[in-house]
């Protein structure tokens, strides 16, 4: 009998407790994955590690905790060298907790020129590697020509020791394209929002490499002690191009090499990139790069606030034998007038390249420096950048989805309503200013409808929130009609302010003259709410009554999102959101009123601890400390798109 069983195994192949959903594992006939059990089976047998797989349904891995899940490719010597096609599907709730294990992710180590992970999304992955290295939500280590393309991680967290990334922990001669991460990341050294360590050592031997990180972004927070960056912690010889990061990056009190995009750039090349998050650390702290060692920075900018103790610069903390070319930083937002905190034998640290916020939102600033923009050919024909002149900073052209008019990175009925309203009209071009003339022929017509239809229900780089559950107020319904008109819906008639009682309430909503709602400084759609405040020994409070009360508990929402836009000359004043007239949640940036660009404020609903979320009767936006009235400040804010979001 024993001999018969052994013979059967040899003839029939592996014995498995779980059968895949079809296929034979070859390129033209991949194994099909339909269930969590089938996905877990891949890592259970080393014979699977060079095969081809295709995900056929969204999968929930919530049933696997601790170290239950079989990581696919557990080490450098036991790597995954096959192809995994996510097929646009998602893996939810991947959780892995280990005290000291290395190579942690859905895929532990992916290696080889033919190895590829593509078109896969992770939702709410939570990785705790303890003192382990090479940790990422998707891949622990990407090595020797392997690639990740069109993948993302949204929600959750990743923590570990060294080489910790939101999507990939460690990259050695690997390629990552069209990917993003929206998770919180923490570790000791080489910690990045997308990638912890990016090393392309073929460059060191004079071999031209095609490995790079391109068209990627990170929008999550990052914290680390050594070499922490919004996108990449440590970039050694690597090329990063057409990428951005907007998460806040923080080092400890002794943290060094902390950057808005890259913590440490050793002999690496960074081209056409930007960062907008706030950066804080101790030594070598920069809005874009913390420490630049013999690295090259071309056509980049940063806008975030930068704080540190030594070698602190608006763009670069320390530039040692490095080169900085045609790059800028926002002097007002960063709070710094120096490009580099320190420069030794390097070139390009030009304090004259700092610009005001207004100049940073003006296209000529960058066009005159030779940046390649859409609709111009003098600086190139690759159409890298786009800008809504006078309203926003430059953005990368690939960020825009044709037909996404409200700026929520998806094309749906809201966008269709915007498009239909402009039918047969002349409207500005789409890119940058989001006009409805998608083909730039001067009129919104059938050609534009074809363009719009081709992207119907498409999704792009998202905010850190997921599915829209409820719009509280997008400020699009307000008009300037006289109160005697039955259609009158003036913004200050809906949002109660202190106009009639300024001695105790220092808020005034709406402009003095029509149009009462703001039409120029707008995040989405065509209108936002202007909010004038005086918080000197009083509270400024504008409140929206919800009648009937709304049941937020049944929406499935987890966060409240609102967008705000301040001014660098505004008085520093605490900003809060209040529900039902009692429970206040304050913004964690004491100088939020001075942020002179549209910024999303995300509040976890659980922070409103004393509020019955099944019976929300009002929401208020307040300026000033409600519990300790003091000599606050005065100024003007704008608010837009107050919404509830839930997990995807």
- Note whether residue 304 is domain-resident: yes
- Note whether residue 462 is domain-resident: no
Q: What is the pLDDT of residues 70-122, one digit of tens each?
A: 999 999 899 999 999 999 899 999 999 998 899 999 999 999 999 999 999 99
pLDDT of amino acid 106: 98
One-letter-per-residue 3-state SS of 549-591: EECCHHHCCCEEEEEEECCCCCCCCCEEEEECCCEEEECCCCC
Of 395, 426, 454, the residue at which a domain comes to its end is 454
pLDDT of amino acid 21: 95
CA distances from 154 to 86, 182, 274 (A): 15, 5, 21
Task: Give helix 446-454 / helix 413-421 axis angle, nearest 10°.
Answer: 170
Whether residues 420 and 497 fall in one domain: no
Counting every residue written for the chain, the total comes to 648
461, 399 Cβ separation under 8 angstroms = yes
Scanning the structure block, which residue is given the tokens 């790597």?
79
Give the CATH number for residue 208: 2.160.20.110
User: Residue range 16-28: average pLDDT?
Assistant: 86
- Note whether residue 328 is domain-resident: yes
* Residue, of 432 and 523, whose pLDDT is higher: 523
Whether residues 526 and 625 fall in one domain: yes
pLDDT of amino acid 256: 96
CA distances from 460 to 8, 422, 470, 516, 534 (A): 50, 24, 20, 33, 39
Q: What is the pLDDT of residues 373-399, one digit of tens each?
A: 988 899 999 999 988 888 789 999 888
For 133-150, b/e burial (b = at least 16 CB within 10 A) is bbbbbbbbbbbbbbbbbb
Give the CATH number for residue 532: 2.60.120.430
pLDDT bracket for residue 18 (50, 70, 90): low
How much is the mean pLDDT over the chain? 90
- Note whether residue 6 is domain-resident: no
Q: How far apart are CA 347 and CA 208, in angstroms?
A: 24
Give the lowest-confidence range in 21-35, 155-169, 420-434: 420-434
| Whether residue 435 has pLDDT greater than 50 | yes
Return the percentage of the chain with pLDDT > 70, whole number: 92
pLDDT of amino acid 5: 40
Whether residues 429 and 535 fall in one domain: no
Name, in order, each residue with C-beta under 8 angstroms of 413's C-beta and a sequence gap of 6 or more.
none
pLDDT bracket for residue 564 (50, 70, 90): very high
Q: Model-level pTM?
A: 0.71
> Could you count the other beta carbons within 10 Å of the beta carbon of residue 319?
32
Q: What is the pLDDT of residues 31-53, one digit of tens each?
A: 999 999 999 999 999 999 999 99
pLDDT of amino acid 66: 95
Whether residues 525 and 446 fall in one domain: no
Name, in order, each residue with C-beta under 8 angstroms of 210's C-beta and a sequence gap of 6 or more.
175
* DSSP 8-state symbol, 30: P
Whether residues 355 and 222 fall in one domain: yes
- Note whether residue 238 is domain-resident: yes
- Note whether residue 181 is domain-resident: yes
Whether residues 284 and 417 fall in one domain: no
- Note whether residue 21 is domain-resident: no
User: Residue range 506-521: average pLDDT?
Assistant: 95
Whether residues 88 and 190 fall in one domain: yes
pLDDT bracket for residue 414 (50, 70, 90): confident
Whether residues 580 and 439 fall in one domain: no
515 preceded by a cis bond (ω within 30 of 0) = yes
Q: Residue 603 burial (CB < 10 Å; 0-12/13-18/19+)?
A: middle
Of 454, 488, 515, the residue at which a domain comes to its end is 454
Domain range for 515? 468-646
Q: How far apart are CA 475 and CA 516, in angstroms?
A: 11
CA distances from 378 to 39, 350, 368, 433, 503 (A): 51, 25, 10, 21, 57
Q: How far apart are CA 578 and CA 616, in angstroms?
A: 11
Whether residues 431 and 518 fall in one domain: no
Of 454, 478, 506, the residue at which a domain comes to its end is 454
Using DSSP's 3-state secondary structure scheme, residue 38 falls into helix
Q: What is the pLDDT of residues 310-356, one digit of tens each?
A: 999 999 999 999 999 999 999 999 999 999 999 988 899 999 999 99
Whether residues 73 and 170 fall in one domain: yes
Would strands 135-136 and 107-111 be described as parallel, antiparallel, or unpaired? unpaired
Give the lowest-confidence range in 103-117, 249-263, 384-398, 480-494: 384-398
CA distances from 225 to 251, 263, 308, 357, 358 (A): 5, 10, 13, 30, 34
Q: How many domains does the chain have?
A: 3
pLDDT of amino acid 8: 42
Name, in order, each residue with C-beta under 8 angstroms of 17's C-beta and a sequence gap of 6 or more.
41
325, 348 Cβ separation under 8 angstroms = yes
pLDDT bracket for residue 205 (50, 70, 90): low
User: Residue range 582-603: average pLDDT?
Assistant: 89
Whether residues 311 and 429 fall in one domain: no
pLDDT bracket for residue 596 (50, 70, 90): confident
For 613-643, b/e burial (b = at least 16 CB within 10 A) is beebebbbbbbbbeeeeeebbbbbbbbbbbb
pLDDT of amino acid 647: 58
Whether residues 448 and 509 fall in one domain: no
- Note whether residue 459 is domain-resident: no
Q: What is the pLDDT of residues 283-316, one digit of tens each?
A: 999 999 999 999 999 999 999 999 999 999 999 9
pLDDT bracket for residue 546 (50, 70, 90): very high
User: Residue range 571-583: average pLDDT?
Assistant: 93
55, 31 Cβ separation under 8 angstroms = no
pLDDT of amino acid 602: 87
Give the CATH number for residue 438: 1.10.1330
pLDDT of amino acid 299: 98
User: Residue range 131-153: average pLDDT?
Assistant: 96
């Amino acid at each position: 009998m024993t001999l018969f069983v052994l013979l059967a195994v040899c003839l029939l192949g592996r014995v498995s407790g779980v059968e895949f959903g079809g296929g034979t594992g070859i390129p033209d006939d991949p194994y099909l994955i339909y269930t969590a059990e089938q996905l877990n089976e891949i890592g259970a047998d080393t014979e699977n590690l060079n095969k081809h797989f295709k995900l056929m349904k969204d999968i929930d891995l919530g049933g696997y905790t601790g170290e239950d899940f079989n990581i696919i490719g557990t080490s450098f010597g036991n790597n995954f060298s096959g192809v995994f096609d996510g097929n646009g599907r998602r893996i939810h709730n991947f959780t892995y907790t280990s005290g000291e294990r290395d190579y942690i992710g859905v895929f532990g180590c992916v290696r080889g020129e033919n190895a590829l992970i593509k078109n896969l999304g992770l939702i709410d992955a939570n990785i705790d590697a303890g003192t382990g290295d090479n940790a990422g939500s998707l891949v622990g280590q990407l090595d020797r020509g392997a690639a990740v393309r069109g993948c993302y991680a949204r929600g959750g967290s990743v923590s570990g020791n060294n080489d910790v990334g939101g999507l990939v922990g460690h990259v050695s001669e690997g390629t990552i394209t069209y990917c993003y991460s929206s998770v919180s990341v923490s570790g000791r050294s080489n910690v990045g929002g997308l990638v912890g360590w990016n090393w392309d050592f073929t460059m060191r031997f004079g071999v031209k490499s095609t490995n790079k990180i391109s068209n990627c972004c990170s929008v999550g927070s990052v914290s680390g002690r050594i070499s922490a960056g919004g996108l990449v912690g440590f970039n050694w010889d690597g090329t990063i191009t057409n990428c951005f990061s907007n998460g806040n990056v923080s080092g400890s009190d002794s943290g060094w090499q902390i950057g808005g995009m890259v913590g440490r750039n050793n002999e690496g090349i960074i081209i056409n990139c930007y960062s907008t998050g706030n950066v804080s650390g101790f030594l070598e702290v920069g809005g874009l790069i913390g420490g630049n060692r013999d690295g090259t920075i071309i056509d980049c900018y940063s806008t975030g606030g930068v704080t540190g103790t030594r070698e602190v610069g608006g763009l670069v903390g320390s530039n040692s034998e490095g080169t900085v070319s045609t790059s800028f930083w926002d002097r007002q937002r960063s709070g710094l007038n120096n490009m580099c905190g320190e420069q030794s034998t390097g070139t390009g640290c030009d304090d004259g390249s700092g610009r005001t916020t207004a100049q940073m939102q003006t296209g000529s600033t960058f066009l005159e420096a030779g940046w390649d923009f859409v609709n111009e050919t003098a600086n190139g024909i690759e159409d890298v950048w786009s800008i809504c002149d006078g309203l926003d900073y430059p953005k990368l052209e690939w960020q825009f989805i044709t037909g996404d008019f409200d700026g929520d990175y998806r094309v749906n009925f809201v966008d269709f309503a915007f498009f239909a309203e402009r039918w047969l009209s002349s409207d500005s071009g789409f890119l940058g200013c989001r006009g409805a003339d998608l083909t730039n022929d001067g009129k919104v017509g059938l050609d534009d409808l074809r363009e719009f239809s081709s992207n119907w229900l498409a999704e792009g780089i998202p905010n850190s929130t997921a599915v829209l559950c409820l719009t509280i107020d997008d400020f699009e319904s307000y008009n300037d009609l006289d109160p005697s008109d039955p259609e009158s819906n003036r913004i200050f008639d809906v949002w109660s302010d202190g106009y009639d009682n300024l001695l105790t309430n220092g808020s005034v909503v709406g402009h003095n003259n029509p149009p009462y709602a703001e039409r120029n400084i707008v995040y989405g759609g065509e209108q936002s709410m202007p909010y004038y405040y005086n918080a000197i020994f009083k509270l400024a409070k504008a409140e929206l009554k919800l009648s009937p009360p709304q049941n937020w508990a049944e929406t499935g929402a987890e966060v409240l999102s609102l967008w705000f836009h301040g001014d660098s000359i505004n008085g520093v004043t605490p900003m809060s959101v209040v529900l039902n007239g009692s429970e206040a949640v304050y913004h964690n940036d004491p100088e939020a009123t001075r942020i002179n660009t549209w910024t999303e404020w995300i509040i976890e609903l659980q922070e409103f601890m004393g509020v019955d979320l099944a019976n929300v009767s009002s929401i208020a936006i307040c300026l000033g400390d409600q519990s300790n009235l003091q000599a606050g400040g005065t100024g003007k804010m704008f608010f837009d798109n107050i919404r509830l979001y839930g997990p995807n």
